[in-house]
């Protein structure tokens, strides 16, 4: 039987490039694309089929910031499929990103310019807001909505003849300094994106501990600096025009400047071809590009504390319990 691959956030950027690249690797897969609206899903499906007319492509509507939508999507997927081989947890948001020019200038003076330009450490701030469920939007979209989806799809992911895979899109911007267990939704800070990505890394570590013996493996990837709609919102468009020649030059020194969604999906596709039993589950796989444009994957040990990861996981379970009680009418 063909492998079934689910991709969230498939309508643009790395998610869309990933869909094309997966079909180039194996045109026999059943690709299920998950987008926030029916219109986006159908438009994306048509776009993919224009390039891969023989592909099996289905759609599911899911707004990861809306947990009722997540539960409905999971129910639909359980009815439609007997198993899922790969779930790419790729959807994410960075609302109202702004550059902290003071922090950038201080970083430049400290001589850590390359580190700052490759990780955006201390340089990026975001303004978060609450969802209809009363949760922080970035936390919910980037992590918790995916967490609920995985938990609801457990029957399709565990106990199969071959291992199933979770592949989370994380970031080099995932930093412990932006995360706090006492404020794991990051309601009090201005680095919600970084916090959510660090929480993603922690969650992946625990999922492996809990589910590897049931045939489910979790990995995290970093697509590098990719020029997408999310990136372009950070600065006015005319500034990007002025900066692009410099950015292309920096790529000779900063290998994570992948720049294009196609290059950014390199680590995602590389993991598609690996046997999970032989992977280091405490490693983040980074998409990298040489100055001349050759793509490759670089594994880097994650800076995560496993005790903190377990404590976060327990908090997610407690929050999940509250959500499932609220939406009990949507459960089987």
Strand, helix or coil for residue 259: strand
Distance CA 10, CA 90 (A): 8
CB 48 within 8 A of CB 19: yes
Cα 331 to chain centroid distance, Å, stands at: 26
Q: Among the options 193, 198, 285, 313, which is catalytic?
A: 193
Task: Judge whether 86 and 6 are in contact, CB under 8 Å.
Answer: yes
If we measure between CA atoms, which residue out of 141, 163, 316, 288 comes closest to residue 221?
Answer: 288
Record the tokens describing residue 254, joined without a space: 């900063």
Annotated active-site residue 193? The verdict is yes
Residue among 209, 182, 173 at smallest CA distance from 286: 173
Q: Sort 291 into a burial class: Cβ within 10 Å, 0-12 / 13-18 / 19+.
A: middle
Which ranges constitute the DSSP H helices of 111-236? 113-119, 137-139, 145-152, 154-157, 192-211, 229-232
The Cα–Cα gap between 229 and 233 comes to 6
- CB-neighbour burial class of residue 68 (10 A; exposed 0-12, middle 13-18, buried 19+): middle
Distance CA 35, CA 12 (A): 10
Rounded Cα distance between 247 and 264, Å, is 15
C-alpha triplet 332, 86, 78: angle, nearest 5°: 15
Among 258, 277, 152, which residue's Cα sits nearest to residue 268?
258
Q: Are 33 and 17 in contact (CB under 8 A)?
A: no
* Catalytic residue numbers, as ranges: 193
């Amino acid at each position: 039987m063909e492998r079934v691959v689910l991709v969230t956030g498939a309508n643009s950027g790395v998610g869309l490039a990933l869909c094309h690249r997966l079909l180039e690797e194996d045109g026999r897969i059943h690709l299920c694309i998950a987008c926030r609206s029916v219109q986006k899903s159908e438009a994306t499906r048509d776009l993919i089929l224009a390039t891969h007319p023989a592909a099996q492509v289905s759609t599911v509507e899911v707004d990861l910031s809306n947990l009722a939508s997540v539960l409905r999507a999971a129910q639909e997927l359980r009815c439609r499929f007997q198993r899922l081989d790969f779930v790419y947890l790729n959807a994410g948001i960075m609302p109202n990103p702004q550059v902290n020019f003071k922090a950038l200038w201080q970083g430049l003076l400290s001589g850590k310019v390359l580190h700052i330009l490759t990780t955006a450490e201390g340089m990026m701030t975001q303004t978060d807001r609450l969802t209809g469920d009363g949760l922080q939007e970035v936390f919910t979209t980037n992590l918790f909505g995916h967490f609920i989806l995985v938990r609801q799809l457990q029957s399709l992911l565990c106990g199969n003849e071959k291992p199933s895979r979770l592949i989370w899109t994380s970031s080099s911007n995932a930093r412990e300094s932006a995360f706090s267990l006492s404020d794991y939704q990051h309601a009090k800070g201005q680095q919600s994106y970084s916090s959510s990505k660090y929480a993603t890394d922690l969650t992946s570590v625990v999922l492996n501990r809990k589910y590897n013996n049931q045939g489910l493996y979790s990995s995290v990837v970093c697509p590098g600096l990719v020029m997408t709609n999310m990136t372009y919102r950070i600065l006015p468009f005319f500034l990007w025009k002025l900066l692009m020649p410099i950015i292309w030059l920096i790529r000779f020194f900063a290998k994570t400047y992948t720049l294009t969604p196609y290059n950014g999906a390199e680590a995602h596709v590389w993991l598609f071809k690996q046997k999970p039993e032989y992977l280091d589950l405490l490693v983040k796989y980074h998409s990298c590009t040489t100055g001349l444009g050759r793509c490759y994957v670089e594994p880097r040990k994650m800076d995560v504390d496993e005790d903190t990861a377990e404590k976060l996981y327990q908090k997610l379970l407690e929050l999940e319990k509250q959500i499932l009680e609220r939406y009990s009418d949507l459960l089987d």
